[in-house]
């Protein structure tokens, strides 16, 4: 009897106190691909996410970031996630509308009027609903990071009114809503993968592109552009996507750590963007670009002209999805 007790005590000791730390975690290298460069605020976000993962996993979960489209563009990398050959990607939602048409809701022109509005919608019920749709196509969305409000840059003329778009060759993302928004303004919109934009601007295959200031800065588009207009025509999110096929093989503790740390990274990334935005604009000016703004009247004209795009794409996005985001925005704005 005594011997039995001693044995069970020893066993209990082994199972409890002497268990190795972070036993639920495996040594994993998680490849995260990005189209943008390492000095984009996503880099700060990934650093913060790694620090958080180090603490939670005892250094076992390691992010390995690839930049500048080294593992392929947004769409290609996302397909690699769906087929389970790559772990993660930070991608724009816009090129993924062929995979999940509801994502097109974020491409509607002038949908969000400020970043706070976007955060409330994306980090809340609506964002969760969209993440469920992504899970159904093999993608776990760990959170909405920020790409941000988009502005037009070009090499031909100052753009201060909608007539200035006439005939301008504007690169747009591979996305019908962006294509229509710019065609509707009179531009000659050309869909193109992000990785081709710099050289297409340099060789004048295209005149213009549109991206947030931090991207015009960190992807060096200012080197091959002459004018920028603060159009703020759309706020597009980045999605931190994980391959569902791979995620499903991870322990619940690993999954939870990834979700929590992705939120930590997201918050850091957003705040770095808020700070860098102004600095990027200064850098763009210092590089000799002419920076224009739209008068309030002109903003209103362009916005009103663009509203046809909502009706045109409502069915393809899903009428319920469009109605629900508009209702949520109306509630926030009250
Ligand atoms: C980077 C892209 C980029 C996006 C674009 O991979 O394509 O213009 O804004 O940030 O996702």
Q: Could you tell me if residue 8 is inside a domain?
A: no
Q: Which of 40, 92, 239 to mutate to test the pocket of ligand 1 (most atoms within 8 A of CB)?
A: 92
Query: Is residue 234 within 8 Å of residue 172, measured between CB atoms?
Result: no
On the question of pLDDT at 3 being above 80, the answer is: no
Atom of ligand 1 nearest to the CA of 36: 1
Atom of ligand 1 nearest to the CA of 209: 8
Q: Could you tell me if residue 38 is inside a domain?
A: yes
Minimal-distance CA residue to ligand 1 atom 6 = 35
Residues 196 and 216 in one domain: yes
pLDDT tens for each residue of 140-163: 999 999 999 999 999 999 999 999
Residues 79 and 214 in one domain: no
Give the least confident one: 8-12, 44-48, 69-73, 249-253. Answer: 8-12
Residues 321 and 190 in one domain: yes
pLDDT tens for each residue of 85-123: 999 999 999 999 999 999 999 999 999 999 999 999 999
Q: Could you tell me if residue 173 is inside a domain?
A: yes
Dihedrals phi, psi of 170, to nearest 5 degrees: -105, 125
Q: Which of 35, 89, 234 to mutate to test the pocket of ligand 1 (most atoms within 8 A of CB)?
A: 35
Q: How far apart are CA 258 and CA 261, in angstroms?
A: 5
Percent of the chain predicted with pLDDT > 70: 94
Residues 68 and 171 in one domain: no
Q: How far apart are CA 286 and CA 25, in angstroms?
A: 48
Residues 128 and 272 in one domain: yes
Taking each helix axis from N to C terminus, what angle separates 125-135 and 115-122, rounded to the nearest 10 degrees? 60
On the question of pLDDT at 28 being above 60, the answer is: yes
Q: How confident is the model at residue 18, as a pLDDT? A: 58
Minimal-distance CA residue to ligand 1 atom 7 = 194
Q: Could you tell me if residue 79 is inside a domain?
A: yes
Assembly ipTM: 0.99
Edge to edge, the sheet with strand 28-34 lists 61-66, 28-34, 88-92, 235-243, 139-149
Distance 85 CA to ligand 1 centre (A): 22
In 3D space, the residue among 231, 252, 253, 245 whose CA is nearest the CA of residue 306 turns out to be 231
Q: Could you tell me if residue 290 is inside a domain?
A: yes
Dihedrals phi, psi of 283, to nearest 5 degrees: -65, -40
**Which residues' Cβ are closer than 6 Å to ligand 1?**
35-36, 74, 91-92, 147, 173, 194, 211, 215
Residues 140 and 189 in one domain: no
Atom of ligand 1 nearest to the CA of 34: 6
Q: Could you tell me if residue 94 is inside a domain?
A: yes
Residues 191 and 225 in one domain: yes
Q: How far apart are CA 57 and CA 206, in angstroms?
A: 47
Minimal-distance CA residue to ligand 1 atom 1 = 35
pLDDT tens for each residue of 230-257: 999 999 999 999 999 999 999 999 999 9
Distance 249 CA to ligand 1 centre (A): 30
Domains of the chain: total: 2
Query: Is residue 215 within 8 Å of residue 221, measured between CB atoms?
Result: yes
Distance 205 CA to ligand 1 centre (A): 18
Residues 133 and 211 in one domain: no
Helical residues (DSSP H) of the chain, grouped into ranges: 2-15, 41-57, 74-82, 115-122, 125-135, 176-184, 197-202, 213-218, 244-247, 252-286, 296-306, 308-317, 319-333
Q: How confident is the model at residue 27, as a pLDDT? A: 98
User: For the residues 254-263, what does the mean pLDDT come to?
Assistant: 98
Q: Which of 45, 215, 220, 225 to mutate to test the pocket of ligand 1 (most atoms within 8 A of CB)?
A: 215
On the question of pLDDT at 186 being above 80, the answer is: yes
Q: Could you tell me if residue 21 is inside a domain?
A: no
Residues 204 and 288 in one domain: yes
Provide the residue range defining the domain that includes 268.
Answer: 27-100+112-146+237-278
Which residues touch 140 (CB under 8 Å, ≥6 apart)? 131, 134, 241, 242, 243, 244, 247
Q: How confident is the model at residue 10, as a pLDDT? A: 44
Residues 300 and 216 in one domain: yes
User: For the residues 31-55, what does the mean pLDDT come to?
Assistant: 98
Which is higher by pLDDT, 178 or 16? 178
CATH of the domain at 50: 3.40.190.170
Residues 78 and 188 in one domain: no
Residues 38 and 139 in one domain: yes
Q: How confident is the model at residue 21, as a pLDDT? A: 86
Q: Could you tell me if residue 197 is inside a domain?
A: yes
On the question of pLDDT at 8 being above 80, the answer is: no
Q: How confident is the model at residue 93, as a pLDDT? A: 98
Per-residue three-class SS string for 221-268: HHHHCCEEEECCCCEEEEEEEEEHHHHCCCCHHHHHHHHHHHHHHHHH
In 3D space, the residue among 196, 248, 246, 192 whose CA is nearest the CA of residue 29 turns out to be 246
């Amino acid at each position: 009897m005594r011997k039995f007790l001693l044995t069970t005590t020893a066993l209990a000791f082994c199972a409890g106190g002497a268990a190795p730390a972070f036993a639920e975690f495996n040594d994993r290298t998680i490849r995260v691909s990005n189209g943008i460069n390492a000095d984009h605020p996503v880099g700060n976000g990934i650093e913060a996410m790694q620090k958080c993962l180090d603490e939670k996993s005892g250094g076992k979960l390691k992010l390995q970031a690839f930049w500048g489209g080294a593992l392929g563009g947004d769409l290609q990398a996302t397909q690699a996630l769906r087929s389970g050959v790559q772990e993660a990607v930070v991608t724009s939602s816009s090129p993924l509308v062929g995979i999940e048409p509801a994502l097109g809701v974020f491409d509607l022109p002038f949908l969000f009027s400020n970043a706070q509005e976007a955060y409330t919608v994306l980090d809340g019920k609506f964002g969760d609903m969209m993440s469920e749709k992504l899970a159904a196509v093999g993608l776990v969305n760990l959170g909405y990071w920020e790409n941000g409000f988009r502005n037009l840059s070009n090499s031909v003329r100052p753009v201060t009114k909608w007539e200035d778009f006439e005939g301008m060759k504007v690169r747009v993302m591979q996305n019908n809503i962006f294509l229509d928004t710019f065609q509707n303004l009179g531009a000659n919109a050309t869909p193109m993968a992000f990785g081709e934009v710099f050289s297409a601007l340099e060789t004048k295959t295209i005149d213009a592109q549109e991206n947030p200031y931090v991207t015009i800065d960190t992807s060096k588009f200012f080197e091959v552009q002459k004018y920028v207009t603060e159009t703020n025509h759309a706020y597009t999110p980045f999605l931190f996507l994980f391959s569902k096929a791979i995620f499903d093989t991870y322990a619940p503790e690993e999954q939870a750590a990834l979700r929590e740390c992705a939120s930590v990274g997201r918050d850091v990334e957003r705040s770095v963007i808020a700070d860098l935005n102004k600095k990027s604009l200064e850098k763009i000016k210092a590089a000799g670009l002419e920076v224009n703004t739209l008068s309030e009247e002109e903003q209103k004209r362009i916005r009103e002209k663009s509203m046809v795009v909502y009706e045109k794409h409502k069915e393809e996005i899903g009428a319920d999805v469009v109605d629900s985001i508009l209702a949520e925005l109306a509630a926030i704005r009250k």
